[in-house]
Amino acid sequence: MNLLLAIQNLIKRAGLRSLAGPVLIVMILAMMVLPLPPMLLDILFTFNIALAVIVLLVSMNTTKALEFSVFPTVLLITTLLRLSLNVASTRVVLLQGHTGPAAAGKVIESFGHFLVGGNYAVGIVVFAILVVINFVVITKGAGRIAEVGARFTLDAMPGKQMAIDADLNAGLIGEDEARRRRANIAQEADFYGSMDGASKFVRGDAVAGIMIMLINVFGGLIVGVVQHNMDIAAAAQNYTLLAIGDGLVAQIPALVISTAAGLVVSRVSTEENIGQQMVGQLFNQPQVLMLTAGIIGMMGLIPGMPHFAFLLLAAGLGGLTYFIMQRAKQAAEKPEAEGIIAPAAMEAPEASWEDVAQVDVLGLEVGYRLIALVDKAQDGDLLRRIKGIRKKFTQDIGFLPPAIHIRDNLDLRPNAYRITLKGAEIGAGEAFPNMLLAINPGNASGTLSGVQTRDPAFGLAAVWVETTMREQAQAMGYTVVDTSTVIATHLSHLIHTHAAELLGRQELQQLLDHLAKFAPKLTEDLIPKLLPLSTVQKVLQNLLDEGMHIRDMRTILETLAEYAAQTQDAYQLTGLVRVALGAAIVQQFYPSAQELQVIGMDKELEYVLMQAMQAGGGNQAIEPGLADTLLREARSAAQAQEQLGLPTVLLVPGQLRDLLARFLKRALPQLKVISHEEVPGFKAVRVTSMVGGRA
């Protein structure tokens, strides 16, 4: 009683659905050991056929392979079910086969008599043909497709991961969407890898079917003749028909399942199922159907040919062609445009201040072929991506950038676009709608045919390819992005690069007003009592100019309030703020490292630079000869650091940081300069490269 209650509680907690799998496996394994009556065999064989049909229909009605991701497991279970039924039916055939063809149930008898007419020679031939079709044609082809698909999917994973990271960094998707896409990529790789292995089950099942049939025939002859004293001819008749019926009732579902496996791995994923794809792509060209109808009709007129069948099919194809052409004609017709009466000419108004056009802080101008990308009426998604870029910028940098004004420019080439800042061009490029940009990250395994170009954002080698080449390009290691993503990534990169110029007085005042809601006393005491708004703006622009964010405005304003009485110089205040933000600066370059592997500076070179600064007084300039030496040594050290795979960060004394940062920024923008004072005390420092030399 207690055991029954425990089982009942277990079922309630686990649920019937979760128990279905274990119960089915246990039942399948039990069929190999326990004897089954013929009626139960009939039910199980019928269930096996129904299950095969269900699997086939599900595989035909899915739009993507991952919608049927359980298929490799289903393939294993159905194969195991067929083999268990073969074992159970073999036991019944050998034990009761001498009683007649109905010994193993009505299903096996029907397949042995009705399908092959009771002729075991015909049954052997039909069975052999089914095995050949299943083993040599369908299973072998599906297995090869699964093998190649698994290899290409694994090869394309790095490119797909880079595309997701690019979309995430550009603000086009969020963390949840990126996580979902990465999970889909991993699941896709697991699916094709599983299909590659599961296809071996089907091939093994076909071999097992042949061997089981032969065992049934020869074993039945021995049992019938030796144990039941049957005539050899009668034994051969009974046991061969039973063995053939048993083989056919197992091979037909196996053939259906193999076909489903081939459909799953051979289809190209679209938003349509297989039936919609076939109808839409086979019967959407009336010229092809008309030509086919003509050829079939002429063949039907040849003497000796079956005229009725050929002419009937030709007439059917001709009628289908006429129907498709009429439907296309109706879809192409447009209602006549209504006449538009031009309004009466109006007197030109006087000029006013409203006619003065303000220059857009940020602008995106596109050629006429790119208008569809920014047109809501044409379902252009670039507007949505630009909104994501501004939101991502605000979260990363710490202030809301100006709105991006988009307009068409007929002076540009049809596929060209340009990005402007305060009316001046800061970036331009070309993009091709309905094509994809395949970017070579440096490890692509081959070349693609298309329009050779460069990635406009980062200058990597790239090629514009047709959309049908996406899978091929990803398999070769290219990062493949669409037209909207190309423009959006370029725009995101430029606004991050020019963040300092985007922080105007209006944006700063909006930022301070927002901060005043949470720390009103901080902003009230600092501006304008201690520092003017222009000085605070310059300090923030200096931080942004060196690639820092200004999200920690509380620390920035508290530091400015603390040192405002000592100096009003924006560069000195910037240095003091950087020291206060030292932990955040170091974390930006070394996210999780406890030891900072940096580029150091030769003590003698530091001394020479100190002397040059003191001799120059307020003019922070470097003598040309010393500047050449310093630039050469810094470039060599940065290259050595990059070869080690380490961040290119130069550690110098605080007095030299501002001078070297401004001097090296134009020639070596990738080299970041930090001071000793900015390194937190809990971080260890190790010099891995050295900037050294003599003036």
Residue 446 lies in a domain: yes
pLDDT class of 271 with cuts at 50, 70, 90: low
User: Higher model confidence: residue 373 or residue 234?
Assistant: 373
- 615 and 489 part of one domain: no
- 214 and 97 part of one domain: yes
How far apart CA 327 and CA 334 sit, in angstroms, is 13
- 58 and 179 part of one domain: yes
How far apart CA 168 and CA 179 sit, in angstroms, is 10
CATH number of the domain within which 648 lies: 3.40.50.12790
- 53 and 96 part of one domain: yes
How far apart CA 691 and CA 695 sit, in angstroms, is 12
Residue 2 lies in a domain: no
- 83 and 122 part of one domain: yes
Residue 337 lies in a domain: no
- 389 and 259 part of one domain: no
How far apart CA 417 and CA 488 sit, in angstroms, is 11
Residue 640 domain boundaries = 592-695
Of 472, 500, 528, which residue constitutes the final position of a domain? 500
Strand partners, 240: none
How far apart CA 158 and CA 172 sit, in angstroms, is 19
CB 611, CB 605: distance < 8 Å:
no
Map 487-531 to HEC letters: HHHHHHHHHHHCHHHHCCHHHHHHHHHHHHCCCHHHHHHHCCCCC
CATH number of the domain within which 549 lies: 1.10.8.540
Residue 515 lies in a domain: yes
- 31 and 116 part of one domain: yes
User: pTM of this prediction?
Assistant: 0.55
One-letter amino acid for residue 10 of the chain: L
Predicted pLDDT at 150: 64
State yes or no: pLDDT of 6 exceeds 60: no
pLDDT class of 365 with cuts at 50, 70, 90: very high
Predicted pLDDT at 156: 67
Report pLDDT digits (tens) over 548-591.
Answer: 899 999 999 999 989 988 989 898 899 999 999 988 888 888 88
Of 500, 535, 559, which residue constitutes the final position of a domain? 500
Q: Which residues of 655-677 are buried (b: 16+ CB within 10 A; e: fewer)?
A: ebbbbbbebbeeebeebbbbbee
How far apart CA 260 and CA 262 sit, in angstroms, is 5
**CA nearest neighbour of 243 among 148, 62, 367, 116:** 116
Residue 202 main-chain phi, psi, to 5 deg: -65, -40
User: Higher model confidence: residue 409 or residue 264?
Assistant: 409
How far apart CA 145 and CA 141 sit, in angstroms, is 6
- 420 and 547 part of one domain: no
User: Tokens 């009732």 label which residue?
Assistant: 249
Task: Compute CA distances 476 → 154, 184, 370, 448, 648, whole Å.
Answer: 11, 20, 29, 9, 31
Residue 317 lies in a domain: yes
Neighbours of 133 (CB within 10 A): 16
150-159, 480-489, 664-673, range with greatest mean pLDDT: 480-489
Predicted pLDDT at 351: 76
Report pLDDT digits (tens) over 495-535.
Answer: 999 999 999 888 998 999 888 888 888 888 888 888 888 89
CATH number of the domain within which 484 lies: 3.40.30.60
Residue 352 lies in a domain: no
Residue 8 lies in a domain: no
- 248 and 290 part of one domain: no
User: Higher model confidence: residue 60 or residue 493?
Assistant: 493
Of 500, 532, 548, which residue constitutes the final position of a domain? 500
- 563 and 538 part of one domain: yes
- 39 and 177 part of one domain: yes
- 196 and 64 part of one domain: yes
Predicted pLDDT at 202: 67
How far apart CA 49 and CA 115 sit, in angstroms, is 15
Residue 624 lies in a domain: yes
Map 527-574 to HEC letters: CCCCCCHHHHHHHHHHHHHCCCCCCCHHHHHHHHHHHCCCCCCHHHHH
**HSE of 14 in the Cβ direction (CA atoms, 13 Å)?**
14
Domain count, the chain: 5
